[in-house]
Structure 1
Amino acid sequence: MAGDRSAAAPLLLVIYLWAGWTQCLQILPGPTPEEKAVGDSVRLDCRFTVDKNDIGPLDIEWSRTPPDPTSSPIIIIDYSGDRTYETRVEDMKGRLHFSSPDPKNGDASINITRLKSSDSGMYHCKVKKSPGSKTKPMKLEVSMKPSPPTCFVDGSQEVGKDAVLKCSSQGTPPITYIWTKQGSSHLLPSTAVADISAGTLKVKNATLDYSGDYKCVARNRVGSSECVVKFSVSSSGNNGGKIAGAIIGVLLALLLIGIVIWFILRRKKKTTYEKEQPFEIREDVPPPKSRVSTARSYTVDSQRSSLGSMSPSNMEPYKSHYNRLATDELEHPPSHNPHLTPSYKVAAPSLNRMGAVPVMIPAQHRDGSIV
C-alpha cells in the first residue's frame, strides 16, 4: 500500500507542475472582430495575464494567414526585448500599430486603420513568457459597402402604362435593394412588384396617384447607400400638349434665327455694294435752257447787267437808237405766243425817269451763245 503511494507521488508532482505552468500565462477572452467595411478601422483584442512563475522574456507576435488556404502565415508586427518592431508588410505600413504604448503591461491588442479588402484573413496573437505560451486566433473580414446607387425610370410614364424603376449599386455581395415611396405612408402602389436582389420595382397599369418620389436603399453586411427617383405619371393629352408646345417653341426659335440671318446678310450685302460704287458727281437735273432773246425784247435784269458792263462814255452813240426801239415796242406790241413766258417790259420814259442808260443788246442764239 505504501509502495503504491510512493510510486504515484512523482506522477502527481508532474501533473501539479504542468497545471501550474499552463495556468500562469493566460489570454483573456474578449470581443471578436465583426465584419468591417473598406475604409473603416478595427481593433483586434489580445489581453493577457502572467504569473510570478513566468520568468522568461516577454515576446508578442502577430501573424496573418490570407483567405487562400495555400498561403503561409506572415508576421505583421511583433514585440520582443521591450521593443516594438513595426510591420514589414508593405501595404500595412502606417496603418498597423499596437493599441498600448507598452504591451508588456498586459495589452497586446493591435489597431488597423483605413482597412482594405486585402486585410481580410485569419489573425493570430501569440504571447510567450517562459515557461508559458498562448495563442489566440481571430478572423477578420473586410467588405466593400454599397456605392451610391443609380436610380432611373425605364418605360412610359403615362396613365395605364407599365414602367420599371431600376436601382443599381456596386459593393461586396450579397446586396439587397429596398424600395419605398416618399410620403406619409411609405407604402408602394398596389400593383408594384419589387425584386430585392435585382433592384427593380415593376409598376403595372400606372395611375396619377402613383406619381411621387421613390427611394431605393442598397444594403449589405457592412453598410448602405440610397438614391431617390421621381416617377411622374401623366395623361396622354397632357403629353400631346407638351409635345405640341415643344414643336411650336422650336419653330418660333427657327423663325427668329432665320430673321436674324436674313437681316445680317442684307446688311452685309448693302455694305459690300456701297464699298464697290465709285464716288461720282452726277447731274440728275439738266440745267434750264436759256430763253430766246431778241434785240427788241429785254428785261430789267438784262438791262442792269448790260448797264454794269458799259461805261457812260460809250453809250452816247446808242441813245438815239434806244429811244427809237422803245417807241416801236410801245406802238407795235409782239403777238401773243402761248408757248413763251411773257416778259415784263418797261417803257422808255419810265426807264429815263429811273436814271437808266440806253444800251445795245446783242442778239443771242437759242442755246444762249452770242451771234
Structure 2
Amino acid sequence: MEPNVFCCAVVLFAGMASSLEITSKGPGSIVVASGQTVKLECHFTLAPEDFGPLYIEWSLLASDIQNEEKVVILYSGDRAYEDYPFMKGRVHFDMADPKNGNASINVTGLRLSDTGTYQCRVTKAPGVRSRKILLTVMVKPSRPRCYAEGPTEQGKDVVLRCVCEEGTIPLRYTWEKISDSKLLPASAVLDAVGGTMNVRNASTSVSGTYRCKATNRVGNEECILHVDITPSPNTASIIIIIIIIAGAIIAVLLILIIAIILFCCCRARQRKKYEREDMSLPWSHVQMGSMTPSNLHEDPLVSGDFVHTPPVPASHTPLAPPVLPAPGAVPRMAGLKPQSHGRHPCVIPAQNREGSIV
C-alpha cells in the first residue's frame, strides 16, 4: 500500500473513532434587529480518546468563492484571541473558559454588515466537528407617519397613508379602526405593501380613530390617525347665495343710477323755470335793467340829445307828490311818453310851460 493512501486511511479511522460531538440543537438561522445582541450557540462534548489540544474557531464564511473567510474569534492553548479586525471589541465567548464544552459567542451592537453565515469549528485530535448558523441583521420599522391624502369630504374617495422612513423590507402594513364599531368601512381597499387604505365614496360613518401598524421580522411600530369626514358643501345653496348677493349689488347700482337721473332732471327743470321767470318780467323792468353804464352814452336822454332847460326858479310852485302805482300795474313816470329811436324804445321827458322838465 502506498504511504499517502495509508495516511488517509489512518486519519479517516481516527475521525471515526473520535467521540467529539457538537450537541447544540438550536436554530440554524437567526434574524436579529440592528443594534441588539445575539448569541450564537455552539456546545460540544469530549471523550478520553480525544487527546489533542483544544482549538475553537469562529469565522464568517465567504459569500462567494472570490472572498475569503473572516476569523471572528479564536481559542487556542487555553487562551482567547478577540482582536481580529472584523467585529473587534464586539464579540466574546459566552464562557470565560470554553474548554468545558461551551464555545458559544455573543455579538453586541449588530450591524447590517454582520449579516452572513457563521461557522463554529471545534478541533481536538483526532476529532473535528463544526456547526453553521445563518445570521440576518435587519432594521426594525421606524415609527410610521399616518395622514389622509386629499380632502376628507363626504361622497369622495378618501386615501389614508402609512409610511415608515426606516425599516428593512419586506414591511407589512395593517390598518384597524379602534373607535365606534371597530370595523373597517365596507368599501375600504387595503394595500399591505404600500401602506394605503382607500375608502371609496366615503360617508360620515367613516369618521373615527384608526391605527396603522408597520411590521417586519424584527419588530413593529404604529401610529394613530383621527379621520373626520365632513359633509360636502351644497352646490345649489352656494349658487343661490351668489345670485342673491349679485342681485343685491345690481339693485343698489340701479337705485344709484335712478337717483342720479332724477337729480339731473330736477336741476334741469329748475334752470328752465328760472329762465321763464326772467323772460316774463315787465317791459319797464327789463328796459330799466338794460341801461347799464356801458350803454348810457347811447341813450339820448343821457347823452344830451335833448335841450337842457334852466333850472326851475325857487319861487316856482312845487310839484305834487308822485302817485304810487297800484300793485301789479306797470310803473310809469308822469309826463313821459315812450318813443322809439330805431329798435330801442325811449322815454321823452315832459316839459312844462316854462321849459322845465317835469
The answer as to whether partners of 1:66 and 1:120 remain within 8 angstroms in 2 is no
How far apart are residue 187 of structure 1 and its match?
1.6
Q: Distance in 1 between matches of 2:117 and 2:12?
A: 33
Q: Distance in 1 between matches of 2:52 and 2:16?
A: 12
1:220 aligns with 2:216: yes
1:141 match: secondary structure: strand
The answer as to whether partners of 1:87 and 1:96 remain within 8 angstroms in 2 is no
The answer as to whether partners of 2:90 and 2:107 remain within 8 angstroms in 1 is yes
1:231 aligns with 2:227: yes
Q: Evaluate the alpha carbon distance shift between residue 59 and residue 19 of structure 1 in structure 2; reply closer, same or farther with a 3 A threshold.
A: closer
1:141 aligns with 2:136: yes
- 1:26-105 superposed matches below 5 A: 26-32=21-27, 33-67=29-63, 70-90=66-86, 92-105=87-100
Q: Evaluate the alpha carbon distance shift between residue 16 and residue 160 of structure 1 in structure 2; reply closer, same or farther with a 3 A threshold.
A: closer
1:118 aligns with 2:113: yes
Q: Evaluate the alpha carbon distance shift between residue 212 and residue 200 of structure 1 in structure 2; reply closer, same or farther with a 3 A threshold.
A: same
Report the counterpart of residue 108 of structure 1 in structure 2.
Answer: 103
Q: Distance in 2 between matches of 1:225 and 1:26?
A: 42
Runs of 4+ off more than 3 Å = 14-17, 19-23, 66-70
How far apart are residue 113 of structure 1 and its match?
1.4
Q: Distance in 2 between matches of 1:203 and 1:153?
A: 11
Q: Evaluate the alpha carbon distance shift between residue 15 and residue 163 of structure 1 in structure 2; reply closer, same or farther with a 3 A threshold.
A: same
1:191 aligns with 2:187: yes
The answer as to whether partners of 1:97 and 1:110 remain within 8 angstroms in 2 is yes
1:18 match: secondary structure: helix
The answer as to whether partners of 2:180 and 2:208 remain within 8 angstroms in 1 is no
Please, which of 202, 206, 222 is the counterpart of residue 206 of structure 1? 202
How far apart are residue 183 of structure 1 and its match?
2.3
Give the aligned residue type for 1:74. K
TM-score (norm 2): 0.59
Deviations 1:77-108 (A, max 9, x none): 00111111113125x22321000111011100
Give the aligned residue type for 2:73. I
Give the aligned residue type for 2:118. Y
Deviations 1:166-188 (A, max 9, x none): 11113111111101111264321
Q: Which range moves more in the overlay, 57-66 or 102-111? A: 57-66
Q: Evaluate the alpha carbon distance shift between residue 162 and residue 16 of structure 1 in structure 2; reply closer, same or farther with a 3 A threshold.
A: closer
The answer as to whether partners of 2:179 and 2:210 remain within 8 angstroms in 1 is no
- 1:343-358 superposed matches below 5 A: none
Higher strand share: 2
Please, which of 137, 162, 175 is the counterpart of residue 157 of structure 2? 162
Give the aligned residue type for 1:225. E
Q: Distance in 1 between matches of 2:67 and 2:11?
A: 40
How far apart are residue 112 of structure 1 and its match?
0.7
The answer as to whether partners of 1:67 and 1:120 remain within 8 angstroms in 2 is no
Q: Evaluate the alpha carbon distance shift between residue 165 and residue 97 of structure 1 in structure 2; reply closer, same or farther with a 3 A threshold.
A: same
How far apart are residue 15 of structure 1 and its match?
9.2
TM-score (norm 1): 0.57
Deviations 1:312-340 (A, max 9, x none): xxxxxxxxxxxxxxxxxxxxxxxxxxxxx
Report the counterpart of residue 131 of structure 1 in structure 2.
Answer: 126
Q: Distance in 1 between matches of 2:186 and 2:193?
A: 20
Report the counterpart of residue 269 of structure 1 in structure 2.
Answer: none
Deviations 1:232-262 (A, max 9, x none): 1112359x99xxxxxxxxxxxxxxxxxxxxx
The answer as to whether partners of 1:27 and 1:134 remain within 8 angstroms in 2 is yes
Give the aligned residue type for 2:95. S
Q: Evaluate the alpha carbon distance shift between residue 207 and residue 184 of structure 1 in structure 2; reply closer, same or farther with a 3 A threshold.
A: closer
Q: Distance in 1 between matches of 2:34 and 2:88?
A: 16
The answer as to whether partners of 1:178 and 1:199 remain within 8 angstroms in 2 is yes
1:118 match: secondary structure: helix
RMSD: 2.5
Q: Distance in 2 between matches of 1:210 and 1:142?
A: 40
Deviations 1:98-141 (A, max 9, x none): 00111011100001112111111011111111111111111111
* Structure 2, gaps ≥5 residues long: 1-5, 239-358
Report the counterpart of residue 305 of structure 1 in structure 2.
Answer: none
The answer as to whether partners of 1:211 and 1:232 remain within 8 angstroms in 2 is yes
Q: Evaluate the alpha carbon distance shift between residue 136 and residue 223 of structure 1 in structure 2; reply closer, same or farther with a 3 A threshold.
A: same
Deviations 1:235-294 (A, max 9, x none): 2359x99xxxxxxxxxxxxxxxxxxxxxxxxxxxxxxxxxxxxxxxxxxxxxxxxxxxxx
Please, which of 142, 150, 153 is the counterpart of residue 145 of structure 2? 150
The answer as to whether partners of 2:149 and 2:159 remain within 8 angstroms in 1 is yes
* Structure 1, gaps ≥5 residues long: 1-10, 242-371
Give the aligned residue type for 1:212. G
Q: Distance in 2 between matches of 1:161 and 1:39?
A: 44
Q: Which range moves more in the overlay, 104-113 or 21-30? A: 21-30
Give the aligned residue type for 1:25. L
